[in-house]
């Protein structure tokens, strides 16, 4: 079942996602030029009547180009109720900045809503934001020496709920040394701007 990752594993996920991006082989691409695992999961979810939303194949945030979306060869398991996809911006010195999208059916959202909206961690703040003509909720989580470690943006689109998630990047500068390598961590409003580019797949 799709679940938002626990905050303690966010840094590890960034490394795994970067490895996923850099290890993509030609065989992972479909004739349409999209990741075959993403297409596999989209087909399964759409066949069950769920609308998939995405951010296209490329978008830019503060000069960093995110490309995707990428699925996962061995998961997450599609249970007719949701899909997870990853976008990645590669960094010049190695590694990358991940941005994950989760698309939930109403039923699945009810099962993960409490964990997402109330992670039970110190340093969590929330604020309502406008994404186009919709209200979303931005959830910010601090950790350790960093003023901000992870961000979620939850957007209810009636038929589905879309959650965007990103985190500080391992190897990024400490607060005393400067900004994080993830521009969205430096300015959470950038995630709101990204989500304004959300639209139904495959339009």
Cis-peptide, bond into residue 76, ω within 30° of zero:
yes
pLDDT of residue 57: 96
CA distances from 138 to 67, 80, 195 (A): 23, 27, 11
- pTM of the predicted model as reported, rounded to 2 decimal places: 0.83
Q: What pLDDT is attached to residue 72?
A: 83
pLDDT at 74: 67
Residue with tokens 């609308």: 51
Predicted confidence at residue 122, as pLDDT, reads: 78
Residue ranges in the chain whose pLDDT is less than 50: 1, 7-26
pLDDT of res. 119: 81
| pLDDT tens-digit map of 7-19 | 444 444 444 444 4
Asked whether the beta carbons of 131 and 196 are under 8 A apart, the reply is yes
What pLDDT does 196 receive?
97
Report pLDDT for 165: 97
Which residue, among 181, 148, 164, has the nearest Cα to 15 in the 3D structure?
Answer: 181
Strand, coil or helix: 7: helix
Q: What is the pLDDT of residue 81?
A: 72
Report pLDDT for 30.
53
Which of these, 81, 59, 77, lies nearest to 68 by C-alpha position?
59
pLDDT at 48: 86
């Amino acid at each position: 079942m799709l679940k938002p990752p626990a905050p303690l594993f966010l840094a590890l996920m960034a490394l795994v996602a970067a490895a996923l991006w850099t290890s993509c082989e030609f065989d992972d691409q479909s004739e349409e030029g999209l990741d075959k695992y993403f297409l596999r999961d989209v087909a399964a979810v759409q066949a069950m009547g769920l609308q998939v939303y995405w951010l296209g194949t490329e978008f830019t945030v503060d000069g960093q180009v995110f490309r995707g979306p990428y699925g996962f060869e061995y998961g997450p398991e599609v249970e007719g109720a949701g899909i997870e996809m990853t976008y990645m911006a590669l960094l010049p010195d190695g590694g990358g900045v991940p941005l994950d999208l989760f698309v939930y059916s109403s039923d699945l959202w009810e099962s993960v809503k409490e964990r997402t909206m109330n992670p039970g961690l110190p340093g969590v703040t929330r604020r309502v934001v406008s994404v186009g003509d919709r209200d979303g909720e931005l959830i910010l989580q601090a950790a350790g020496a960093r003023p901000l470690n992870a961000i979620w943006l939850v957007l209810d689109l009636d038929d589905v709920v879309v959650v965007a998630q990103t985190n500080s990047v391992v190897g990024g500068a400490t607060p005393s040394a400067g900004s994080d390598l993830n521009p969205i961590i430096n300015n959470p409003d950038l995630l709101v701007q990204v989500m304004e580019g959300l639209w139904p797949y495959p339009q």
